[in-house]
């Protein structure tokens, strides 16, 4: 599985407006809806499910990255949005640091393996300092998409 297999090109948000964890999650789920990956009537329900998951423990993963996620029947395949927050968002991460990169995942409940492989893929790339640095420096959705392709091809 590659990043470009599940990241939705139309759901890349290169500059999140300043705000909270909730506003970041809302903006990203909205981008998935606008890209046609989820239905408008499911949007609020998905936001609520992701926020509920955050209550169990922050998905701040360290290195200035968070991976909010939920399993939801509204999609039949793993999908993800990516957003950058230049000013940082407080995700209540374990390391106490703000979050600058957010990967938001929605996966079908009956495909746990795809969810695991999505998390594995993201985590593996996040261990690469070049990937994190170049991602944070990206200015446009096109820049981010190109970076994902380079990461998929092990060109970083």
Partner 1 sequence: MSDAVIHRRTVTVVNEQGLHFRPCQLIALAAQQFSGSVVLSRGSTRADAKSLLELLTLAAERGTNLELEVSGSEGSELIEKVSQLFASGFQTPSQP
Q: Is residue 113 within the footprint of partner 1 (CB under 8 A)?
A: yes
Among 54, 43, 69, residue whose Cα is nearest residue 20: 54
If we measure between CA atoms, which residue out of 119, 86, 87, 128 comes closest to residue 6?
119
Tell me how far apart the alpha carbons of residues 73 and 95 are, in angstroms, rounded to a whole number.
Answer: 32
Q: Interface with partner 1 by CB under 8 A: which range of 7-15, 38-46, 56-64, 143-151?
A: 56-64
- CB of 34 vs partner 1, minimal distance in Å: 26
| Separation between Cα atoms, residue 74 and residue 46, nearest integer Å | 9
Written as one string, the DSSP assignment of 101-131 is: EEEEEEE-TT-HHHHHHHHHHHHHHHT-HHH
Catalytic residue check, 125: no
Total number of residues binding partner 1 (CB under 8 A)? 22
Residues β-bridged to residue 107: 71
Structure tokens at 29: 């789920």
- What is the x/- site pattern for partner 1, positions 8-27, by CB under 8 A? --------------------
CB of 24 to partner 1, least distance (A): 17
φ and ψ at 10, to 5 degrees? Answer: -80, 0
Map residues 63-82 to x or -, x wherever contact with partner 1 holds by CB under 8 A: x---x-x-x-----------
* Contact positions with partner 1 (CB under 8 A) in 115-134: 115-117, 119-120, 122-124, 126-127
Binding site for partner 1 (CB under 8 A): 56-57, 59, 61-63, 67, 69, 71, 94, 112-113, 115-117, 119-120, 122-124, 126-127
């Amino acid at each position: 599985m590659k990043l470009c297999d599940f990241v939705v090109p139309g759901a890349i948000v290169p500059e999140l407006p300043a705000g909270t964890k909730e506003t970041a999650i809302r903006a990203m789920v909205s981008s998935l809806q606008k890209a046609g990956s989820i239905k408008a009537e499911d949007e609020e329900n998905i936001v609520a499910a992701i926020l509920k998951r955050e209550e169990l423990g922050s998905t701040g993963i360290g290195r200035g990255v968070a991976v909010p996620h939920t399993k939801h029947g509204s999609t039949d395949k793993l999908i993800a949005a990516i957003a950058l927050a230049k000013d940082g968002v407080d995700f209540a991460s374990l390391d106490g640091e703000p979050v600058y990169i957010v990967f938001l995942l929605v996966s079908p409940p009956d495909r746990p393996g795809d969810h695991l492989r999505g998390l594995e893929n993201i985590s593996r790339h996040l261990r690469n300092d070049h990937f994190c640095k170049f991602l944070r420096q990206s200015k446009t959705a096109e820049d981010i998409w190109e970076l994902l392709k380079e990461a998929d091809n092990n060109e970083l």
